[in-house]
Amino acid sequence: MRYALVVLVLLAVVPANAQNAWSFEARSLAMGNVVVPVANDSASWLQNPAGLPWMRPSGVESQDATSRVSATTDLGGDADTIGVNYSARDEEMRRGWGAGYWELGKYEVAPMVSLAIERFGAGYGTRVTDELSVGLTVAQVDFDWTLPVMMYPLVSANAINAYQGKETIFDLGLMYRQLTGDAEVKWAVVGRDLADSMTFTIDAGASVASNGVLVGVEMRDATDEVNSIFNVGAEWRPRQEPRLTVLAGLADGNTTYGLGWDFDRWSISIARQHLDWNTAAAVSVAGSF
């Protein structure tokens, strides 16, 4: 019976978070999944669409870039993933847009319980003022749970069906960006699944970037005192070797880390997470143009 309760909790909690956990560039995975107040790479359209008008990919030769595309896959971890993301901005029109596809193969979230996810969608963001932006993401998510036969009498069909199959998800993001001296400060919030097709959540966070160092904090499902998740992450570019990126963080208390390297307008990044019940690793190749 206790195992059945665990499965019920997973059915409710995982859909709200797993659809985004591995769907970004490896950079974000290594930074403790801190994305809402960062949102400045190819997955900005999903991380926080309000970040699209400010998207400025980091890198030695990419400061003038207005678009970024990436391909991500698993790297020897327990999660079988593949994804493609694209985001771009129009500086003159003060707007940005993006789209992507992501697939998570059968991933074991608990003994004998696995989850597969497929998602594609697009996002659009625009500046409201010189410091405030807003954005909207629309995505279709397909969940496929696999449970042992012995669990079906214990887990109701309604609980399974509520988080099974295809759903259309709408996310609304806000971002306040301020430049203070050499520092870029961002405050951001995203309302995920506005129509409550799966589970409505509010994610919020803040980040500071200055002199080659980026630090961000984020609270997933911030209004839920029980299921909220706290993430913290950092990115460091040594002045002695600015093409190198060192990444680290904590995703709900789980250690994350990774490295990145820039090749002019191309970059590669690797990441690894040690989760409570599993491990996840990914590699991304991205280009900024």
Domains of the chain: 2-288 (2.40.160.60)
Average pLDDT, the chain: 84
pLDDT score recorded for residue 245:
95
Q: 8-56 pLDDT, tens per residue?
A: 444 455 544 454 555 688 999 999 999 999 999 999 999 999 999 998 7
The two structure tokens encoding residue 170: 């709408």
Q: 87-136 pLDDT, tens per residue?
A: 999 988 899 999 999 988 777 666 677 778 899 999 999 999 999 999 99
Residue percentage of the chain with pLDDT more than 90 = 54
Query: What is the 3-state secondary structure of 26-86?
Result: HHHHHCCCCCCCCCCCCCHHHHCHHHHHHCCCCCCCCCCCCEEEEEEEECCCCCCEEEEEE
pLDDT at 186 over 50: yes
Q: What is the DSSP letter of 24?
A: S
Q: How far apart are CA 189 and CA 165, in angstroms?
A: 27
Let me know if 231 is exposed, middle or buried by CB neighbors in 10 A (0-12, 13-18, 19+): buried
The two structure tokens encoding residue 89: 């901005």
* Nearest partner of 31 among 212, 235, 188, 207, judged by Cα: 235
pLDDT score recorded for residue 268:
95
- Rounded to two decimals, what is the model's pTM? 0.87
